[in-house]
Structure 1
Amino acid sequence: MQAGWLDWGRLDFEAVLQMAFSTFPHQPVQVVAHSIGGVLVGLAPSNHLIDRVFTMGAQFAHWRDYASHKRLGMLIKWHAVMPAFTAILGYFPGGMLGWMEDTPRGVVRDWTAREPRFEDAFRNGPHALTEEERAKLVEGFATFHGPMLALSVTDDEFGTASAIERLLAYFRNSPITHLRIAPETMGYPEIGHFAFFHSRFEASLWQIPLEWLKARSVRTDLAGFIVKTGAR
């Protein structure tokens, strides 16, 4: 249970990509990523082979980006309680607590880092990287050149506008469209950080990434919700 974000990206996600490339050698490989999944795209050595990417609420949980009205509670929950449980048990029992899935110790370590830049989470400690290695982490994001649609929702306490843009800035060679919508404009009282992939949204919200992945287009009625588009 020692795996961290770097392992998830450079080993696990990379292995999935390699399997997809070898199994379907003549087909474009497209990626749907949620939350930390957007970071894993930048960490995979083969990301330059990805055709296009859709992300939902993708960021790396820098605490200053949390929604201001929930920031204190989130700091207590995710940056105090979660590492405390992890220190005692050797992993975070998210399933037992009903928070999320069980999580490795290394992921909790990376999640609770306080630095505003992703690579600086690996500046100190037993898993520290050299300055050159941290620079290579950043360059890894720049090797992805495919188009990306980043969707965020206004009631996502993790995926605030600043959090989304903080991560997107790393993909400086990718044409990016950031689409930020309010749940009520889609006819829903709430969506939040975790609910997008629930089947109740199949006929509505799911059509946004489907259209993007099929035709690299965004519904015309959502054009007014585009925050930014173009290379970073």
Structure 2
Amino acid sequence: MIIEVKDLNIATDNGYSISSQQFLPENSNDKTIVISSATGVLQKFYSRFATYFAEYGFTVYTFDYYGIGKSDSNPSRLKHNNCNLKSWGKNDQAAVVAFAKKQNIRAELILITHSIGGQITGFNPNYNFIDKIVMVASQSGYWKYFNGIHFAKMWLFWHVIIPIITPIFGYFPSKKLGLFENLPKNMVYEWAKWGKQKNYLMHFYTDEEYYFNNIEVPVLSLSFSGDNFAPIKTVDWLAQQYKNAKTERVHFTKPINSAMLKHFGFFKQKFKDPIWSMTMDWILTGKKPHE
């Protein structure tokens, strides 16, 4: 099957554009997927996953948050990027969801989030366009919810690394640290504030600024043993913020295809069978994934 991939620039309410790719099937099944990335992960990481679903008739959108990848990430520009983490949900994710809905007005829209993507969904005013949500290792970043050496690493990340290094460069130089894509300064400052609080992102805003309680659609929340970025307790916490959603939690404890998925494996082609197919089954039929 031939999949057409289009490069798009999606205008946002904040006045800048978001780089996106649209994966178009030959024959549509009247279902649309928007993939909301993990922190500092380029949209191209999700391209094989997007292609797989497009081959089954889904129209799929990937995108880079503002300041990441093709969405204005040049270091000289990044120094002047004033977006915060909340705006990635309220503005960026919201713009792509609205665009996808407008382009596919009668289609069911499924939001698939990776890591932070599921956190910022709680700030998305266009939640009413979303019919189902799949959260992949979407979690709290509160440092005391982590174990062993990762407990110390998270404390250092929020309390030392971000506040010391970011002012030197004018942005957070993740690439120099061998982590992920570089990040806007206000985004990481807000992220660090969240990570220091037990209630994480729920600590800082008024009830009117959150949409978690408004989301009443089916939600599938997935976590994986050996995921040091999203241990089970952190994923449980975020799932519990979707108080009125029809949430199903699945925690994978066994190797799949002789390997553990950890934080990034879900979107890797080696786990296509059975992980991607089980996810599609849940979207199409509501059948809960299993190990």
- Smaller-chain TM-score bracket: 0.7 to 0.9
From 190, 194, 209, the counterpart of 1:137 = 209
Contact persistence 1:21–1:29 (CA under 8 A): yes
Structure 1 partner of 2:41: none
Change (3 A) 1:49 1:76: same
What percentage of residue pairs aligned between the two structures are identical? 24
Alignment of 1:148-187 (within 5 A): 148-184=219-255, 186-187=256-257
- Aligned AA for 2:225? T
Equivalent runs, 1:10-159 vs 2, <5 Å: 10-77=90-157, 79-113=159-193, 114-119=196-201, 121-122=203-204, 133-138=205-210, 140-159=211-230
- Once the two structures are overlaid, the 10-residue window that deviates more, 83-92 or 72-81, is 72-81
More strand by share: 2
Show structure 1 runs of 4+ deviating over 4 A: none
Mapped pair 1:217 → 2:282: no
TM-score, normalised relative to structure 1: 0.82
Partner SS state of residue 165, structure 2: helix
- State the Cα deviation string for residues 49-108 of structure 1 (Å, max 9, x = none): 211010111013111112334211333245422332212111112233320111111221
The structure showing larger relative contact order (alpha-carbon pairs under 8 Å, at least 6 residues apart) is 1
Change (3 A) 1:89 1:134: same
Equivalent residue number for residue 188 of structure 1:
258
Q: Which structure carries more helix by proportion?
A: 1
Question: Over aligned residue pairs, what C-alpha RMSD do you find?
Answer: 1.9
Gap runs ≥5 in structure 1: 123-132, 226-232
Secondary structure class of the residue paired with 1:205 = helix
Residues 1:76 and 1:195: Cα distance change in structure 2 (over 3 Å): farther
Offset at residue 5 of structure 1 (A): 1.7
1:130 paired residue number: none
Task: Tell me the CA shift for residue 44 of structure 1.
Answer: 0.5
Matched, 1:200 2:270: yes
Task: State the TM-score, normalized to the length of structure 2.
Answer: 0.66
Contact 2:225/2:260 (<8 A) preserved: no
SS at match of 2:111: strand
* 8 Å Cα contact 1:119/1:134 also seen in 2: no
Distance 1:101 1:176, change over 3 A: same
Q: Secondary structure at the match of 1:31?
A: strand
